Amino acid sequence: MESTEDFDWGKNGIGVGGNWGEPSGTDVWTDEPALLNDAYIYSYDPVCFEGDVGNLPCLNANSCDEGPGGQYVRWKRSIRIDPPVWETFVGDGPSCVYSENPQELLEEITSLLLSEFQEHPVNAGKVATQPGPHTMRGAETNIFVDSKEQVIDTVLLGQDVRIVATPSEYVLHYGDGDQSQLTYDAGALLPDPRIGEKTATSHVYTVTGNYQIHATVYFTAAYSLNGGPLIPIDGRGVFDTPAEAISVWKSDSHNVADDCLQNPAGFGC
- Looking at residue 90, its pLDDT comes to 62
Percent of the chain clearing pLDDT 70 (strictly above): 76
Quote the CA–CA distance of 72 and 96 in Å, as a whole number.
5
Mean of the per-residue pLDDT values of the chain: 79
Given a contact cutoff of 8 angstroms between Cβ atoms, the answer to whether 165 and 125 are in contact is no
Top-confidence residue, 12 or 150: 150
Nearest to 245 by CA among 217, 204, 210: 210
Burial (Cβ within 10 Å: 0-12, 13-18, ≥19) of residue 37:
middle
Average pLDDT over every residue of 177-190: 95
pTM of the shown model: 0.69
Per residue in 24-81, pLDDT (tens digit) is 456 655 555 444 456 777 777 778 777 677 777 777 777 777 777 777 788 888 888 8
Quote the CA–CA distance of 144 and 197 in Å, as a whole number.
14
Whether pLDDT at 92 is above 90: no
- ∠ Cα 64 159 37 (to 5°): 120
Per residue in 250-262, pLDDT (tens digit) is 876 667 777 778 7
Q: What is the band of 198 on the pLDDT scale with cuts at 50, 70, 90?
A: very high
Q: What is the band of 108 on the pLDDT scale with cuts at 50, 70, 90?
A: confident
- Looking at residue 25, its pLDDT comes to 54
